[in-house]
Structure 1
Amino acid sequence: MAGLSSHDEADATNPWQWLDDLYAVRPPWEIGHPQPAFLDLARSGAIRGRVLDVGCGTGEHALMCAGLGLEVFGVDLANTALRAAEDKARRRGAEVRFLHYDARRLAALEERFDTVLDSGLFHMLDPDDRAAFTGGLRAVLRPGGRYFMLCFSDREPETGARGPHRLTREEITDAFADALRVDSIEPATIEITLDPAGIRAWRVAMTRV
């Protein structure tokens, strides 16, 4: 779930150190299992073919997909999270290819996927980075491929603390208008360790037409 937003204290020698710092202790979104909103998709058969998990964090959703017998790639910029994901894969006997990679440059992967999962990445992007991300999604998704996103909703109260942007339906629709067809935007919950009620979220389904 590590994001790609800009950071005021980025180290010039390692601009992504702040992402690793998020995993110095267990982050609240590290719940030890897939988010229920995505687990439901897996159980319904909606996740198919070659899968890309963008902002894969410690790999729970990538490993979920590997458990379905699917070919899976997971990309993130947090090395600490990727090491944890690789360790989980070894312990579980799962085959997933984890890459240290910038999700704003998906087209440069030169890979094609049938499904892309995004649990908590898009809502961390700076607005100026959204077009690069959505264009990259269109490039890596095969025609008919699906993109499933779980993000903070504007129904979640603002706390005043720095954090993910609370997205409106209109912002989501506008951001992806030139890249993918929005099929559904449904209320959902992001489970976290800090609050049993979780975070009010949107689960979004889109198709590359």
Structure 2
Amino acid sequence: MFPDLSAHPEFVNGQSMPWCEQLAGRTGRYEYPWTANVEGLAAETVLTEKLVAAVQGRVLDVGCGHGEYTNRWAEQAVEVVGFDMTKGFIQTANEQYRSANVRYVAGSTKQGLPFPDHCFDVAYTKKGPTSWYKEGNRVVRPGGSLIMLHPGDGNGEGGELGEAFPGLFAGPASGTPTLDRIQERLAVSGLTDIRMSVLKELVWLPAADDILALLCFGQSDGFSQYVSETCFNDIKTQFDKHAEARGIRTTGFYYLIEAKASFK
């Protein structure tokens, strides 16, 4: 029913460096353009509640994007530092979300964190990378808190969009590749008192336009026009077929990790 969109010459893999740079060039912000109505408690809300209790002193946000979430901790912390690999997002952060005690640094966690040992009291990531755990243990003071929220595995659950729009989205998949990678990295991180919980988030997408926006997020104008012209009628047909009163319900999974920096 639907073409292989990844074969389009302007398609860019989501979350890759080129994709992030393209999104930053287009909007300057990592911000979803579709409507998503959460049923119950959102995973991000759970993270925020944890941080309200933990934030103090000097705070590091790893994968800070355009800085809006980073800047919200300015009144509670002595200093907040946002770190992100995408210079376009850092530019927006500096222009729009920089309180007096907030600053931003561009760089990649794969090359380490460019900060001295034990210089932060708290570090966190909101749906950011998993490659910084060992460095996080180094830059956070012994006994300091690290809180990480990552998209997780359905392990056979979820995948509703793949069932409603076969070929456009992945369906339910067994296995836990994300969890496996996280556990491998935690095992060599040096972090202590590690606690992990799985959060299940139910989200309603109320219109076919939201499906289109999700598909085209971060992509080029040419790609977006192609998808609209070749797929939208069938997207609307499938949406009407599968939607309930509130739209199409999707299930997302997240890993929430809480840990302490070691005293070694």
Q: Given the two structures, how large is their TM-score scaled by the length of structure 2?
A: 0.56
The answer to whether the Cα contact below 8 Å between 1:150 and 1:190 also exists between their aligned partners in 2 is no
Select between 188-197 and 109-118 the one with higher mean Cα deviation. 188-197
Match of 1:71 in 2: 79
State the secondary structure of the residue aligned to 1:80: helix
Q: 1:114 to 1:199 in 2, by over 3 A?
A: same
The answer to whether the Cα contact below 8 Å between 1:50 and 1:72 also exists between their aligned partners in 2 is yes
State the secondary structure of the residue aligned to 2:125: strand
- State the alpha-carbon separation in 1 of the partners of residues 251 and 71 from structure 2: 22
Aligned residues: 181
Structure 1 or 2: more helix by fraction: 2
Which amino acid is 2:255 matched to?
W
Alpha-carbon deviations, 1:52-77, whole Å to 9, x = none?
11110011332122131331111112
Match of 1:36 in 2: 45
Match of 1:99 in 2: 105
Match of 2:188 in 1: 178
- State the alpha-carbon separation in 1 of the partners of residues 128 and 251 from structure 2: 17
Select between 105-114 and 50-59 the one with higher mean Cα deviation. 105-114
**1:27 Cα shift?**
4.5
**1:178 Cα shift?**
2.2
- State the alpha-carbon separation in 2 of the partners of residues 122 and 30 from structure 1: 22
Which amino acid is 2:183 matched to?
T
5+ residue gaps in structure 1? 1-7, 124-129
5+ residue gaps in structure 2? 1-10, 35-42, 160-168, 204-209, 215-247
Q: 1:46 to 1:82 in 2, by over 3 A?
A: same
Select 1:51's aligned residue among 50, 59, 62.
59
The answer to whether the Cα contact below 8 Å between 2:124 and 2:146 also exists between their aligned partners in 1 is yes
Select between 54-63 and 101-110 the one with higher mean Cα deviation. 101-110
Q: 1:191 to 1:47 in 2, by over 3 A?
A: farther
Query: How much identity, in percent, do the aligned residues show?
Result: 22
Match of 2:95 in 1: 87
Match of 2:115 in 1: 109
Alpha-carbon deviations, 1:112-143, whole Å to 9, x = none?
211111112225xxxxxx4xx33212221111
Match of 2:142 in 1: 143
Select between 190-199 and 112-121 the one with higher mean Cα deviation. 190-199
Which amino acid is 1:150 matched to?
L
**1:38 Cα shift?**
2.6
The answer to whether the Cα contact below 8 Å between 2:82 and 2:105 also exists between their aligned partners in 1 is yes
**1:188 Cα shift?**
2.9
State the secondary structure of the residue aligned to 1:121: coil
- State the alpha-carbon separation in 2 of the partners of residues 48 and 16 from structure 1: 31
- State the alpha-carbon separation in 1 of the partners of residues 59 and 33 from structure 2: 21
Q: Given the two structures, how large is their TM-score scaled by the length of structure 1?
A: 0.69
Which amino acid is 1:145 matched to?
G
- State the alpha-carbon separation in 2 of the partners of residues 64 and 30 from structure 1: 21
Q: 1:198 to 1:59 in 2, by over 3 A?
A: farther
State the secondary structure of the residue aligned to 1:57: coil
Higher relative contact order (CA 8 A, sep 6+): 2
Q: 1:184 to 1:30 in 2, by over 3 A?
A: farther
1:62 maps onto 2:73 in alignment = no
CA RMSD of aligned residues (A): 3.5
- State the alpha-carbon separation in 1 of the partners of residues 201 and 177 from structure 2: 13
- State the alpha-carbon separation in 1 of the partners of residues 109 and 195 from structure 2: 23
Taking the TM superposition and a 5 Å limit, the aligned residue runs for 1:121-132 are: 121-122=128-129, 130=131
